[in-house]
Amino acid sequence: MKLSAIKLRWDTAVGVLLVAVFITGLGTTDGFASHDNLAFAFNDIAEVALMALPMTLLVVAGQVDLSVASMLGLASALTGELWDAGWAFETIVPIVLLVGVVGGLINGWLVTRVGLPSLAVTIGTLALYRGLASVVLGTGAITDFPETYAKWAVDTTTVPGTFLTYPVVLFIVLAAVAAVVLHATGLGRSLFAIGAQEDAAYFAGIRVKRVKLLLFVVSGLISAFAGIVFTLRYGSARADNGQGFEMLVIASVLLGGVDFDGGKGTLFGAVAGVLLIGVLKNLLTLNDVANEVQVIVTGLLLVASVLTPRLITTVSAWRHRRAAAQAG
């Protein structure tokens, strides 16, 4: 009983670590607490944070979607190309979101109907969607997005009275929705069941395939949306936008204590993981720590996040055994 209590606390530990890093930043780094910097710091990870939400649900259900960053790139390329062709932004958005849904359907269909592992499927669509992005836009960039649209994503436009930008507010709303779905609904419970024991979940009457399909569709949709946000934030549509983000998204989720084997994790942990990576990145940058070191820190955190809970379990199991031996 004690062991499981320790295991469950990993996400709390990440939350505490996040607060500690934040306080360290306030105490040690000039300009960290400034309105502008905080707005920048959180806006800077907006897309990764958005994509981490469906990823959390997927990983809890024992699945993974490696194609998210490619979908972001495809959405960005499409947004740019259509804008360049003179389409209205109000028309572009639904089209791009629809493409995200179709991309998610392809992933979900291959996983649920053909019965392939999601890792293999999404490695394939990672290449496919990124490839389509470069087919759409080539190596060029489209940059002339007007202020009217761009202002909604940049970090200089904040919700009045706060340091929160609009993408971040959107993230907060979606995170709340995801938390309620995952932890307070039957659908959420079924995700845990699927992740823990898919066959058992099926025999318990959960429509496993339908649930999985839904998750991949949501993931595609949010990734396409993140593509639009990214495009407006940098004012630049490129086919290689967000390249490699899939690793960062997965790293954040796993850092937050969501078990890659499925069936375990909290949305709180995942959000704490995303924010920890974001705050740490900002703090290290402000302190002139080289980008290379930031990459190493991310890697070490990731390894520590899976290793520490195991170590704690092992040590306490050993102690327990020793105590039992002494008592007996």
250 lies in the binding site for another protein (CB under 8 A): yes
Return all residues near 124 (Cβ < 8 A) that are at least 6 apart: 110
288 lies in the binding site for another protein (CB under 8 A): no
Give the Cβ contact number of residue 119 at 10 Å. Answer: 13
In the set 23, 247, 315, 317, which binds another protein (CB under 8 A)?
Answer: 247
Stretch that binds another protein, among 41-49, 145-153, 253-261, 271-279 (CB under 8 A): 253-261
Cβ at position 258, least distance to another protein in Å: 10
Cβ at position 309, least distance to another protein in Å: 9
294 lies in the binding site for another protein (CB under 8 A): yes
55 lies in the binding site for another protein (CB under 8 A): no
Local structure of 243: helix, strand or coil? coil
Q: Which is nearer to another protein, 168 or 280 (CB)?
A: 280
Cβ at position 310, least distance to another protein in Å: 6
In the set 159, 300, 315, 323, which binds another protein (CB under 8 A)?
Answer: 300
Alpha-helix runs per DSSP H in the chain: 2-8, 10-28, 35-43, 46-60, 68-84, 89-112, 118-137, 147-150, 166-184, 186-196, 198-203, 208-234, 245-255, 267-286, 291-327
Cβ at position 299, least distance to another protein in Å: 3
Residue type, 128: L
Residue type, 121: V
**Mask for 98-117, x = binds another protein (CB under 8 A):** ------------x---xxxx
Q: Which is nearer to another protein, 126 or 218 (CB)?
A: 126
Q: How far apart are CA 269 and CA 317, in angstroms?
A: 24
Sign of CA dihedral 115, 116, 119, 124: negative
Q: How far apart are CA 231 and CA 68, in angstroms?
A: 15
Stretch that binds another protein, among 10-18, 146-154, 161-169, 257-265 (CB under 8 A): 257-265
318 lies in the binding site for another protein (CB under 8 A): no
Token duo for residue 102: 């179709």
What is residue 63's DSSP assignment?
A: -
- Angle at which helices 186-196 and 166-184 cross, to 10°: 70
Cβ at position 82, least distance to another protein in Å: 17
125 lies in the binding site for another protein (CB under 8 A): yes
Q: How far apart are CA 86 and CA 63, in angstroms?
A: 39
- Angle at which helices 46-60 and 267-286 cross, to 10°: 150
Stretch that binds another protein, among 31-39, 47-55, 135-143, 171-179 (CB under 8 A): 135-143
In the set 52, 121, 178, 182, which binds another protein (CB under 8 A)?
Answer: 121
Q: Which residues bind another protein (CB under 8 A)?
A: 64, 66, 110, 114-117, 119-121, 123-132, 134-135, 138-139, 239, 243-244, 247, 250-251, 254, 259-261, 290-303, 305-307, 310-311
